[in-house]
Structures are given as structure tokens and as C-alpha cells.
Structure 1
Amino acid sequence: MPLIFSIAVFIAALILIVWKPCGLREAYPALAGAALLFAFRLLAPADAAYIWSFVWDATFSLIGIMLFTSLLDQNGFFRWAALHIVRRFHRRQVRLLVGLSLLAACITVFFNNDGTILIMTPIALEVTALLKLPRKAKIAFLFSVGLMADTASAPLMMSNLTNILTADFFGISFGDYAKVMLIPGMTAIVATVGMTALVFGRTIRREENREEAPHSFPAPGSAIGDKRLFAVSWIMIGVMMAGYLVSGRLHLPVMAVALVGAALQWAASAALGKANFRQTVRRAPWLIVVFALSMNLIVYSLYLHGAVGWFPDALGPVTAQGAAAGIFGSGVLFSLLAAAVNNLPAVLVSSLSIGQLGGGPSYLPFASLLGTAVGAKLTPIGSLATLLWLQLISRGGAPLTWKEYVKYGLTFTFPILFCALFALWLVCR
């Protein structure tokens, strides 16, 4: 009975998250599901304490990074970069697609994937509206940004909430993480650019040099609210990168660097009269935090009551076949898990399963992260970034059906995933 009830709560929460009746935000059905499990004593306070010990660093890191990103965005930092790309390549739109994709990749790598969605999706909507692109070409630009938000989230620890969760679980420092994942992560970015240019190139080339396209765009400098704060932002990015590199040696949690960086950026903004405290706090990912904690509790209930006991049993035979078979086989298994249940709970199941195998081969946590980052793009529910992206493009007048999304997901995900896993095999062999 506990197993059946846990499964029922998980399925009901997932249906409500996808369906969104009356515009219901993802956090609320997840929170209600977790509350039900506590009410029926299928979860205990000790379980919540365990999950919190697993996610606290990632949670505060996400808040710090999103606050920092929000402050940069308020000053026009990212729109400045986008306008440089648009002004240069608006009549060579395949290059424009690549440029915006690479900008999305940079934001993802150095900030995080959810921030990329919140920043780049409105920019892509604005660019495609200014270029007066038809729906197919508009979807190409929007999908390339949404795709890159997850496929580019592997190179550095702070690029994705799942990275921090996994690194904390296995005690991996920022530097050790980068040594293994930088090359596979960059490979995923290159593969994403190549695939988007290949698949969408013909559609986009039809729109080049049209008479109705505008001849000019706003100057990039016009996007900057305060040039002094803009200069400070570059310094702060460098300071935070240095902080991440030394955090392992100083035994500092990642969240310390993220929160201090956000606090210093806010102090600089306030000193120059550019910090809107209320707006900044409102833009922090409070509901994302609630969603992550609640879904982890729901999935932990499934784990406690035996619903995912098959997963370690599936991993064992795959990893016994050697490094190549283990990396590719486990990567696909992790991908399918993330696509089915969302990558946040999937990374919890993956970490606990690897722990059950006694840690398994050293590549398993990294194969898990590639699977739950890239493989999550197979379905609309695979990552929170994708759910946010679907909401934003629908509000922007370019809705995408599930059937359309899955077609694109199948086209892009496996080639990019296999390239990234191949790079991981080269690094780990």
C-alpha cells in the first residue's frame, strides 16, 4: 500500500505539473504531493532532514546565482551582448542562430540553465519579431536557445542545479569536476551548434535578405543602464570564477561564492542607485526551490518504498561490460530516467543508485550528469528549464505542441548525447 500510494502521488503531481490547470505553477502540486506523503506518514521529518543535507548547498547556490544574474540583466548586460550579435548577423541568419546559441551557452556555463531561459527566451522572441520571421523560422531560434540551456549545462559545477547536487553527494570539488566535465561539456555545446545549424539551416536561409527585414537595430550601448556598473559586472564575474576555483581548496561550499558575489553586485548597484531591492528579490527563484525540494521528497518516498529498486540492478550489468559500454549504456539509462520523471528527481535516484553500487566506476556520476542534462531534452517534462521555456514561448505567441516538441527532442538529443558521452569516454579511459 505505501508503494502504490507513493506512485499515485508522484503520477498525480506530474500530471498537474504538465497540465497546469488555471495556470498553476509547478511548485504547488509538488508541494501538495510532499505534504500528502508526510500526512500519511510515508515520509518522516528525518527524511526531510536527509534531503535537506543533500540539497542545501545547491539550493542557496541557485538563489545566489539567480540574484546575481537578475542584477546583471536589470542593467542590460545580456541584451547588450545580444544586440552585438543581432546587428552583425541579422542578414546572415544561420550565423545569427549560431551567435545567439553561443550566447545562451555562455550564460548557461557561467551562470545557470534556468537563468538562460529567463534571459534569452524574451531576447529571442524580440529578435524574431523585429526580423518579422514566420513561425517555422521563429521556432528554430527559440528552440536553439531552449536546447542550449540544458545541453550547455555540463562543463562547470554551477551551470546546473543537478551538477551541484551530484558534486556535493560524491564530494567532488569545483576543480576536479571541471577536469572531467569541461571537455564533454564543450563537446555537447559544439554538437548542439552543429545540429541546430544542420536541422534548421534550410528553413532559416529562406528568410535571409528579405526586404521587410529592418536595416538597423538599437546600438548595443543603448541597452546598458549604467556603464560603471557594467564594468563592475565584468570584474565580479572574474572574482566569482576565481572563487569557485579556490573554493575546494578552502573547503568552502559553492553557495558561499554565489551568495557573496550576489551581495557584492547588489551593493555596487545600490551605491550607484541602480538596485531595485523588491524587484531583485521577486525575481529570485523561490518557487524553483520549492519545486526542487518537494519533488526530491516525493521521489525519495518512491526510493524508500521500493519503486526505483530496479535502477541499481539495471546499472550493474551495464557497468560490468567495461568503460565504453558503461559510459554509453548508463548515459542512456540516466537520460531515459530524466525524460520520464524530470532531471531533478532523476539525479537523486541516480546518486542513490550509484551509492548502492558502492560508488561504481568513477565515471558514473559524470555519465549521470550528461544523461540528466542532455537526455532531459527528450520530453517537455525532462527539465524545469524546458517547462519554463514552454511557458515563455506560449506567452510570446509561439506555442509548441507536445508532438512538435518530441519530434525535435528525438532529432537533437541522442546525437548530442552520444558526442558528449564519447568525449567523456576519451577523458576517463
Structure 2
Amino acid sequence: MTGPAATALAVALLAAVLVVAVARPRGLPEAAAAIPAAAIAVVTGLLTWDDALAEIVRLGPTVGFLAAVLVLAHLADAEGVFTWAGSLLSRGHRRESRDPDVDGDRADVGRSLYRRVFAVAAATTAVLSLDATVVLLTPVVVRTARRLRVATEPAAYACAHLANSASLLLPVSNLTNLLAVAAAGLSFLHFAGLMTLPWLVVLAVEYVGLRWVFRSELTRPAPDDPAGTTDDDTPDDDGAPAFALVVLALTLVGFAVAAPLGVEPVWVAVAGAVVLGARSLLARRTTPTQLVSAAAPLFCLFVLALGIVVAAVGKHGLGGVLSGIVAPLGTGLAGLLAVAVLAAVLANVVNNLPATLLLLAAFGPTPSTPTVLAMLIGVGVGPNLTYVGSLATLLWRRVMLDEGTAPSLRRFTVAGLVTTPAALLVGTVALWLVT
């Protein structure tokens, strides 16, 4: 199939996949539409069997790495890492949260919690990926804010923003980073070295911008807790889970040293998961079924199927359009800014993962490193503008609803408008300075 009919079908398939992934009607998994759409793309000839298989082979190591990191994050939670993080967030404020006579100091408690959450969320996203920040840290943050009787919004929205923007630092922080590293041929340390300054300046913008947007919530006590959280729910502070933290630290070091030794990062992640998993299984803190579920097999299939559908869209029209746009941009500051803005816009139209796949294809087989990294700033920071910009943001919204705190679309949009354009600008300028 070729021509306008092929283009229309490819775009329709991608639209169907994204609608189901965003809306998840009747709780259907993201793969429910992606797998049939990929099959249709191949059967109708939008993509040959060989091209589809090549796409799977290309994405396979990245998806395997994603599964291993998700298991590692689950095991960290099972070993008490996030419970310990909750105790760190509460430390020093438990007495005040029980004392009805200290509401005048509530603003100090709220600002202190915001600072701590910001630091913990940035570190969690960078080391354990954005999914850990959304699924594991956000509930801890919301419950901690309730225990301290301060507004949940500043810390919770910080988790949402940092799940995206704090994922710029390391290849392991985001699936889009993994795809880009593979395309650009960057090592773990080289990537981290180039992205450290952009990461820091983006975080600075996020910190100041979100603090300004939620300045009123930071200085007033929260209303009565609708979820019924009480001070008795405060996590026990039994000390740091030393074994789990050591394993996570060694795994992170392993990522850095693996590439020069010719070892794929996926095997480092698997090794960390095996060590931590053996301990958790023996202590009955998790089960084999839970480990399989943590690996998110259906989501991994979704990514592979989405890759096939996006390849079909790229082959039948959109790839040529994007190639024509990015080809003349160059690697000067103006060109990098254009790439970052284009990536941000595309992420908010088709979601950040398809945007990454489409742009990497448009860049060609040997993309320049600054161009690829500018794209990552766009697909990393850009999704903070809308709910549909990234799957992580959609998942964060569901987590918030599960916690009995419905997020406000207006506040989310305002926060995005305040922080995202500035973060895109300063992050790209920082990248230009170091490349």
C-alpha cells in the first residue's frame, strides 16, 4: 500500500493507539490497541515483515533494559526504600504536625516539605526512572503532606514535573533517553557529562516556577484530610535500608563502567535486580508473580508495537516532512532551540515516546550529538505543558485520583506555562554551551 491512502491509514492507526493509551477505556492496557495496529500495518503492507522485525530488534535491548529497571524499582520499594524516603520527608516535623497550636509555623513546614520532595523526586527520577517517581514516590509524598497537615499540591505537582524534566540526567532516567543513546552512540558517562548542566538549570527553573505558582498553598494549612490519613500512619523510622541502597549505588556505578568494558547496560540492571530480588524473595517481601507484574510485560509489548506503527507513519509521509524541517537547522544555538521546541510541540501532539521515534528517524542514521540531546530536552521538558505529553503524566493523574486528590487541569496548565518555555530555553542554552 502506498500513496495518500497509506498515509491516512498509518496516521489513523497511530491516532487509535494513542487514544487508547491515553483514555484506557474499561481499563484496557496500552497494548490492547497497539498490537492489533502493528499487525494491521504489516498485513496491509504499510511496513514489510523485514522492516517490522528490524524495528523490534532495534528496540529490543532498550525495552529489556526498561523491564529490568522497573523490576529494580519495585524491589527497592519492597525493601523499604520509599518508606524510608517518606520518613526523611517527615523528619523534624512530626511533633509540629500533632500540635494544634503551631499553625503559625505551618508555612515553614510546607516550604521545608517542598524542598525535600524536590530533592528526593529529582534523585528518584534520575536513578530509578520517571516511573518510580510517579508510581512509588507520589503516593508517599501525598500521604506525608496530609500527615503534616499541609497542602498536597506543591509537592505532588513537583513530582509530576520532575518525573519529566528531571529525567534529562542519565540514560536510565527515561525510555526516550535510552532510545537516543542507542541512536547517537553515547556512553553512559558521556551522556551524563553533557546533560548535567542542562539538568541543573532546568531544575532551577522548575523549583522557582513551581514555588511561585503554589506560593499560596505553601503558606496555609491544608483542609481536613478527605482520605482520613492520621498521624498514626507516620512511617516508622527504622533507619536506612542499607543493603538496598548499596545495591542501587553499585548498579548505578555499574552502568558507568559497563560500556568501556563492552557490557550492555541491560545486564547490569539484571544483575542488580537478581541480587536485590534474591533477598526480597527469601524474606518474602515480594513474590515471583509480583516480579513479573513489575516488569510490565504488556507495556513492553506496547512499546515494541508502537515502534512498528510509528515506523509506518514515518515511512508514509511524516518522516519526510520532519526530515525536511530538521535538515537545515544545524547545531548552532538557533538550530538547537528549534529542535527542542519542535520536539516539545510534537510530544504534546502525539506523546513523547512516538515523538522521539519519529524525530530519531528524521535525523537519519548518523545524527549529531547536540541535535539528539536538544530533542531530549524537548521531549523531556515539553510534556509538562499538557496531560497527554507523556505517559508518565497520565499515570501521575491516575495515581492522584487513587489517592483521593483530583488534580486541577487549570493549575497543571498554569504551572506548565510558567515553567516549560523558560526551562526549554535555559536547558538548550546550557546544552549549547557544553557541546
How high is the TM-score relative to the length of structure 2? 0.89
Question: Deviation string for 1:224-273 (max 9, x for gaps)?
Answer: 7xx7xx22212212221221111111111111111111011112323444
Instruction: Please point out which of 147, 159, 162 is paired with 1:130.
Output: 147
Question: Does the aligned pair in 1 maintain the 2:401–2:407 contact within 8 Å?
Answer: yes
Q: Which amino acid aligns with 2:237?
A: G
CA distance in 2, matches of 1:371, 1:63: 24
Q: Percent identity?
A: 27
Are positions 1:253 and 2:252 aligned together? no
Deviation readout 1:4-41 (Å, 9 max, x if unpaired): 11111112222233333222232212223222222322
1:231 has 2:242 as partner: yes
State whether residues 82 and 100 of structure 1, in contact with CA within 8 Å, keep that contact through their aligned partners in structure 2.
Answer: no
TM-fit CA distance, 1:69: 1.1
Output the CA distance in 2 between the equivalents of 1:31 and 1:380.
24
Task: Give, in whole Å, the separation in 2 of the partners of 1:314 and 1:250.
Answer: 38
State how far apart, in whole Å, the 2-side matches of 1:285 and 1:115 are. Answer: 13
Asked if residue 82 in structure 1 is aligned to residue 86 in structure 2, the reply is yes
Q: Are residues 1:93 and 2:110 paired? A: yes
Measure how far apart 1:401 and its partner are. Answer: 5.4
Give every structure 1 segment of 4 or more consecutive aligned residues whose post-TM-superposition deviation is greater than 6 Å: 212-217
Which shows bigger deviation, 275-284 or 304-313?
275-284
Cα separation, 2, equivalents of 1:209 and 1:334: 40
- The answer to whether the 8 A contact 1:340-1:379 is kept is no
Structure 1 residues 40, 403: CA separation in 2 closer, same or farther (over 3 Å shift)? farther
Please name the residue that 2:340 is paired with: 331
TM-score for the superposition, normalised by structure 1: 0.90
1:61 alignment partner in structure 2: 65
State the AA in 2 paired with 1:287: L
Structure 1 partner of 2:210: 196
Paired residue secondary structure (2:253): helix
Deviations along 1:48-73, whole A, 9 cap, x unmatched? 22212321221111111111111110
Q: 2:387 aligned with 1:407, yes or no?
A: no
Quick one: distance in 2 between partners of 1:287 and 1:121?
23
Which stretches in structure 1 are left out of the alignment for 5+ residues? none
User: Is contact 2:146-2:229 (8 Å) kept?
Assistant: no
Within-5 A mapping of 1:390-429: 390-400=397-407, 402=409, 404-428=411-435
Matching residue of 2:391: 384
**Aligned counterpart, 2:53:** 49
In 2: Cα distance, 1:209 partner to 1:384 partner: 30
Query: Once the 2 structures are TM-superposed, how far is the Cα of residue 168 of structure 1 from its aligned partner?
Result: 0.9
**Distance apart, 1:102 and its partner CA:** 1.5
Partner Cα separation in structure 2 for residue 180 and residue 300 of structure 1: 29
Letter in 1 for 2:412: Y
The reply on whether 1:26 has 2:30 as its aligned counterpart is yes
Partner amino acid, structure 1, of 2:52: A
- SS of the residue aligned with 1:268? helix
Question: Which deviates further from its counterpart, 24-33 or 6-15?
Answer: 24-33
Q: Which of 170, 181, 197 is the matching residue for 1:183?
A: 197
Q: CA deviation at 1:408?
A: 3.0
The worse-fitting range, judged by mean Cα deviation, of 344-353 and 14-23 is 14-23
| CA deviation after TM superposition for structure 1 residue 405, in Å | 3.4
Deviations 1:127-148 (A, max 9, x none): 2333455xxx333322111111
Q: Which amino acid aligns with 1:163?
A: N
Aligned to 1:399, the other structure's residue is in SS state coil
- Write the letter of the residue equivalent to 1:101: F
Residue 318 of structure 1 aligns to a residue whose secondary structure is coil
Q: Is the Cα contact below 8 Å between 1:87 and 1:217 reproduced in 2?
A: no
State the Cα distance separating 1:156 from its structure 2 match: 0.9
Aligned 8 A contact 2:188 2:259 in 1: yes
Looking at structure 1, the residues matched to 257 and 247 of structure 2 have their Cα atoms a distance apart, in angstroms, of 15
One-letter amino acid matched to 1:366: L
Shift of residue 201, structure 1, vs aligned partner: 2.1
Distance in 2 (alpha carbons) for counterparts of 1:395 and 1:81: 20
Is contact 2:60-2:304 (8 Å) kept? no
Question: Which of 5, 10, 16 matches 2:14?
Answer: 10
The residue that corresponds to 1:147 in the other structure is 161
User: Hey, what's the Cα distance between the residues in 2 that align with 1:365 and 1:58?
Assistant: 17
SS at match of 1:363: helix
Q: Of 72, 78, 102, which residue of structure 1 is paired with 2:76? A: 72
Contact 1:57 1:254 in 2 (8 A): no
Distance in 2 of aligned mates of 1:246 and 1:343: 29
Match of 2:370 among 359, 363, 367: 363
Whether the aligned pair in 2 keeps the contact of 1:85 and 1:99 (CA below 8 Å) is: yes
CA deviations on 1:355-391 (whole Å, 9 max, x unpaired) are 16x52x4311111111111112222111111111111
Report the residue type matching 2:118 in the other structure: S
Give the distance between the partners of 2:82 and 2:254, measured in 1 at CA: 22
Count of residues in Structure 1 that have an aligned counterpart in Structure 2: 416
CA contact (8 A) 1:54 1:169 kept: no
Which residue does the alignment assign to 2:350? 341
Q: Structure 2: 5+ residue runs without aligned partners? A: 98-105
Deviation of 1:174 after TM superposition, in Å, equals 0.8
Does structure 1 retain, via aligned residues, the 8 Å contact 2:29–2:299? no
Query: What SS is found at the alignment partner of 1:146?
Result: helix
Distance in 2, matches of 1:78 and 1:205, equals 26
Aligned Cα root-mean-square deviation (Å): 2.5
Q: 2:129 aligned to 100, 112, 120, which one?
A: 112
Query: CA 1:209–1:129 in structure 2 vs 1: closer, same or farther (change >3 Å)?
Result: closer
Alignment match of 1:205 (pick from 198, 206, 219):
219
1:406, distance to aligned residue in structure 2 (A):
3.1
User: 1:63, 1:213 → 2: CA distance?
Assistant: 33
In structure 2, what residue type is equivalent to 1:42? L
**CA–CA distance in 2 between the matches of 1:19 and 1:208?**
31
